[in-house]
Chain A
Amino acid sequence: MNNLLSIQNLSKSFGGNQAVDAVSFSIQEGSIMGLIGPNGSGKTTVLNMLSGILQADSGSIKLENRSLNGLKPSKLAKLGIMRMFQMTRVFNRISAFDNLLISGQALGLSFNDSVGKADQLMQELQLEHVKFLDAGELSGGQKKLLEFGMCFMRSPKLALLDEPFAAVHPKMRETMVNFIIEKNKIGHTFLIVSHDMPIVQQLCQECICMSTGKVIASGNTKSVLSSPEVIEAYLGDDHV
């Protein structure tokens, strides 16, 4: 198993606030990595840097040895890094099916290929019955699933999911989890930011915990979740 993504000494500060402080980790190809940590620990900032929305102050990001520093989000998407947002981003005034079509074409698929893939994804995500509704008319969970699908129109090298399970109906959460597991079986790599510990334990083989911008624990999920530093970060000093 080789390193798909490796991050070295990534740092970012806003004004006087050091949001991300010399963060380093790597993600193995074909794994599902969890990124956890209390609010304000810098997880979303890391994700923003990985998807090109923010530029790092210092440090390097490499995808299979290719440097990603300074690349635009659209370029990163074409290289195979797909990002799902915490506040769902879909194209509200066109149909759900068109959302998928456009994503496919943006990633380089031909029209016919996009149609085929979109059909397939609609079935996998169980969104067949709403595929011709405007994306803005879908429920919150359906929109999330749609955004999910948009990331998979062309097999991504790395899927970055930012709190995908937050505020989602349990049935839909199940669909998402199954989708992730299925895709992972055929070799897809995921980095999931989440607060949902049971799901993190279920899905993620490895885990990284951040707190106030630094990595405080990494490695096998079980050990990370039971490490004293992590417990302290989440619950505060009194509980250790």
Chain B
Amino acid sequence: MLFLDLTVNGLIMGLFYALMAVGLSMIFGVLRIINFAHGEFFMIGAYTYALIATSFGINPWFTLPLAALGGAILGLVVERLLIRPLYDGYRSWSFVKDEYAVVVTFALSLLLIHLVDKVIGPSPFMGPSLFSMQRISIGPIMLNGQKLISSGVSIFLLISLAIFIKKSLWGKQIQAVAQNRFGAALAGIDPVKTTALIFAIAGGLAALSGALLSPIVNHSPDIGSFPAIKYYVIVVLGGLGSIWGSMFAALILGVLESYFAVYVSYDYRDAFGLLILICVLIFRPNGLAGMKGREI
């Protein structure tokens, strides 16, 4: 049944989108900035996974966490070098914080894309699959083995993240800093460490998402940028700053896109995302579960 097939595949894509969107949402929740280089964490994750697995012949299952680690380290570096000055007590930054973040993360995105392009080259290659069976049938649906495994990993990660944020000490610190940076500092929480942690998590998740999709997509240095557009749609739809909203919205977008691509038009399926974005901004500016008001 085409409909069921589309729905399931859409949900699976939605899971991957969610891994990216959740990180973006967290960064926004705590810093009130959009990381325009987020797609590049995805791309670096994909390349790291593919390169390490093929060059060193390491089992793909071990390469996955390595890719995630790479993303996390990149996130930490970015935070330390570029983002920290915004919040480290430089008084004059208060005028230009948002503008600076836009320019710097956008420039970073271009820098990473072209750096990878230069160093590795644009020739497409794919990472090895985690699972050798190409097609598995579950009930009436035929699924790609890699996608199935990857979705399983994604679900596991998303649930772990949710539990981590809700229950663990670090998670609670993240919530505190997200709500009130200054207040959290007064309460003894180190906003700098928490921010660094968030960048590490966001970077790691995005890189992992890239690694999981690596066997399925054609690599090129700019694979990060188009997915990134979708994630912006998702975080707006879900409400900037809300992790649950982003997860939910990611699933919805995945499914809707899937229907649109087949029932309406394949070529313009990405335009669909823009349409949704604009509709959301006009009719429900808070997204599904976002922060109160657009007072950003």
Q: Which residues of A contact B (CB under 8 A)?
A: 14, 92-93, 136
Contacts and interface: CB of A to CB of B under 8 A. Distances in A.
Contacts of B292: 14
Interface string B261-296: 000000000000000000000000000000010000
A32 B173 CA distance: 45
B156 interface: no
A93 B99 CA distance: 14
A136 B292 CA distance: 30
**Pairs of residues from A and B, 5 with the lowest C-beta to C-beta distance, nearest first:** A92-B95, A93-B95, A136-B95, A14-B292, A136-B92
A156 B95 CA distance: 29
A93 B92 CA distance: 11
Interface in B85-100: 92, 95
B274 to A, nearest CB: 29
Contacts of B92: 136
A189 to B, nearest CB: 29
Nearest to B91: A136
Contacts of A93: 95
Contacts of A14: 292
Contacts of A136: 92, 95
Nearest to A136: B95
B121 to A, nearest CB: 44
A119 B92 CA distance: 28
5 contacts: A14-B292, A92-B95, A93-B95, A136-B92, A136-B95
Interface in B66-107: 92, 95
B75 to A, nearest CB: 32
A203 B206 CA distance: 59
Nearest to B96: A93
Contacts of B95: 92-93, 136
A188 B55 CA distance: 79
A93 B96 CA distance: 10
Interface string B240-261: 0000000000000000000000
A14 B95 CA distance: 29
A23 to B, nearest CB: 22
A96 to B, nearest CB: 16
B296 to A, nearest CB: 15
Contacts of A92: 95
A14 B292 CA distance: 10
B181 to A, nearest CB: 16
B196 to A, nearest CB: 28
A195 B223 CA distance: 57
A142 to B, nearest CB: 16
A187 B95 CA distance: 37
A14 B291 CA distance: 12
A98 B280 CA distance: 38
B97 to A, nearest CB: 13
B38 to A, nearest CB: 30
A12 to B, nearest CB: 13
A136 B92 CA distance: 9
A178 B292 CA distance: 40
Interface string B104-121: 000000000000000000
Interface in B203-225: none
B182 to A, nearest CB: 13
B290 to A, nearest CB: 14
A92 B92 CA distance: 10
B98 to A, nearest CB: 14
B72 to A, nearest CB: 35
A127 B92 CA distance: 22
A31 to B, nearest CB: 32
Nearest to B295: A53
B91 to A, nearest CB: 9
Nearest to B292: A14
A92 B292 CA distance: 27
B227 to A, nearest CB: 35
Nearest to A93: B95
B293 to A, nearest CB: 9
A14 to B, nearest CB: 8
Nearest to A92: B95
